[in-house]
Structure formats: C-alpha cells, structure tokens
Amino acid sequence: MHKIIRFVQEEFIFFIFFSILLVLSAIFPTEIKNFSEFVEWKTIWALGGLIIITTGMKESGYFEIITIRMLKKVNSERGVSFLLVLLSVVLSTFLTNDIALFIVIPVTLAVQKRVKNNISKLVIFEAIAVNVGSTFSPIGNPQNIFLWHKWNISFTGYVWEMLPVGLIQLGFLLIFIFFVFRANDLQLSGSFEKRGNYKKLMFNMSLLILILFIITLELKITEYVLPFILIFYLVAYREIMKKVDWLLIILFVIIFIEFHLISNISFISENIKALNPTKPANVFWLSGLISQIISNVPAAVMMSKFSNNWQAIAFGVNIGGNGLVIGSLANIIALRMINSKKYWIDYHKYSGIYFIVTFITVLVIFY
C-alpha cells in the first residue's frame, strides 16, 4: 500500500489521466475495442525513439562537463542565469523539454550549493526556457511531434513556421532574466569541479543515432528503424533502458484515447464548434487557454479534432505551456525536482505574467 501511495504522489499527472481513462471506459464500454485505432502510433514511435536516445545522452553525464566548463567563464548572478537559461533553450530545441530539465536543473542545484548567492529561483525560468526552446523544433516536445506527424510537415518547414513565435518568447524571457537577476558577483563557497564517471562514447553514439533518427523521421520510416535502436541500447547500454521514462510514452497513448472520446461528447464538441474553431485567432486562443486546464499535449490532440490550422494550434499550445503549472508536464517536473512548496507560488508569479505578455503579443501580431 505504501508503494502505491508513493507511486501516486510521484506520478500524480499519470494517475489523473489513467483514472479519467477508466471513467471514460465505463461511459463508453463499446469503444474499448477501438482504443488502438484512436492512437497516432507514428507519433508514439517517434516520441519513444527520441526519449530513448536522449536518455542515453543525458545518462552519459557529458553535458555536465560542458556546463561546468562554461560556468567557469561567468562571474555574476545575471551571467550564470543567462548561461543556464540559454543552455536550457538550446537543449530543449534538440532534445525534448523534460530531458533538458533533467540535465540543467541538477547542474543549477549543484551551482547553488557552491555559491553564497541565492539563484534557486532560476529553476522557474529554466522551466519557462525549455518550453520556449522546444517551440523552435518539431522534436522539442510531444505536442510538436504530434502536430508534425499528423500534418506531414517537413522538418525545416516546421522550424521556419515556428521561428517567429519562438523568437518572441525568447526575447521576453531574456528581458525577464535581465530584470529579475542582479549583476552581483558570484561569491564562491566551493569549486565548480565535479568528479564523475562520464561516458563520452555513449554521448557520441547517442548523438549520431539522434541525427540518423531525425533523418528517418523525415523519410517516414521510423517504425522500421526503432527496433534496431532498441536492440542497440539493450545490447550496448542496457542500463539506459531502465532510465527511460516509459510512463510518459504510455501517458501519451492514454491521452490519444481520452481526447478522441472527449471530443465526441456532444456537449463539449458543440460548445467548441460554437466558438468557431475555423478562424485562426479563435484556434490560437482556444489552444492556449485549454492548455491551462488540461496541459498543452492533450490540448493539441483535442484541438486537432476541430481544426486543420496546425500553425494556430502549435502557436497556442506552445505559448500555453507557460502560465499555470499544469500548462506543461515540464513545469511539474521542474518544480518537483526543486522540492519546495514555496516555488509553486513563485512559479505562477513569474510564469503567469510571462504567459499573458507573450500570449497577447502573438495574438496582436499574428491574428
């Protein structure tokens, strides 16, 4: 019983969505046999492959070496903040946003232990940063992977379309960092050196496989390549398979099933249709606001049932990742890693303002 309670506490979001699935299964028992048809399996294969590969990159420990070397070149609170936030943006562009957090936040907490300055609230801005960085790339977060596959958009085409809204978010994020963090010198209480067993070969192999995997995504042959990736990691780096976030992949399967069923509930579908989801501006603000209620991944899945304007959906759900903590699973991961109730309040103080500013700016410029 204790293990079950701890699992529910640690995987609260998964538990909520799984519970909703059980309720929907009871309401629509005749649809259970069709559940597999509701899942966008190509998206699942893409997400699964990316999570396995990027877990290998993270577990190599090599990112920490790179980060610590970079930290030696800065000497102020603001400098460290800009460095780690920009690192979060870059990593989440090429990896998924949650993987980026698992790399950057431990480094941030390690830095906090070695300086007398209080930079712990930087974790809040790193959560915002990974949502911003993941906007730029179709592989940056699960909702982008889904939209990219569903509408068969080219990799470069997706990047080009998302670039303007990504730059707007990045610009405001850097302005926030400038005003929130001071230019005070870092007061060291220890060395930035860290001992560890770094696996450069694992990092290089995973990076090479990531590049090849992105090519297979473009060629639409992911499901044929994924078994070879699984075999490689099982044979060469079996420990990686234990670290993979399998629940995230299962959660995505559940989300597809749930929001197919929910979108067919007449009360919900009629109300969304009444808001005219064919108009780009309406698709954008609906996607952003629904993300504040059910998170941006299911919001993307749900809105795809009512609109073919993938760009407006993508703009809305990516900006919607900020605001309330539920907006993105990455936000919950970040706050759980820092493990302090105080930061849940602080998060909304900064993220709420950031969401409103970016949301209104994009709405005015593009719609």
Average pLDDT, the chain: 83
In this predicted structure, what is the pLDDT of residue 275?
75
H or E stretch covering 220: none
Q: Tokens at residue 81, please?
A: 């903040």
For the segment 151-165, the average pLDDT, to the nearest whole number, is: 92
Question: In the predicted model, is pLDDT for residue 190 greater than 70?
Answer: no
For tokens 């993987």, name the residue: 99
For the segment 249-262, the average pLDDT, to the nearest whole number, is: 82
Task: Note the pLDDT tens digit of each residue in 105-139.
Answer: 877 877 777 677 677 788 889 999 999 999 999 98
For tokens 């977060």, name the residue: 141
**Sequence spans of domains, the chain:** 39-183+193-366
In this predicted structure, what is the pLDDT of residue 320?
93
Nearest to 297 by CA among 256, 268, 250, 348: 256
For the segment 154-162, the average pLDDT, to the nearest whole number, is: 92
Rg (CA), the chain: 20
CA angle, 105 as apex, 63 and 143 as ends, to 5°? 90
Dist. CA 130–CA 29, nearest whole Å: 39
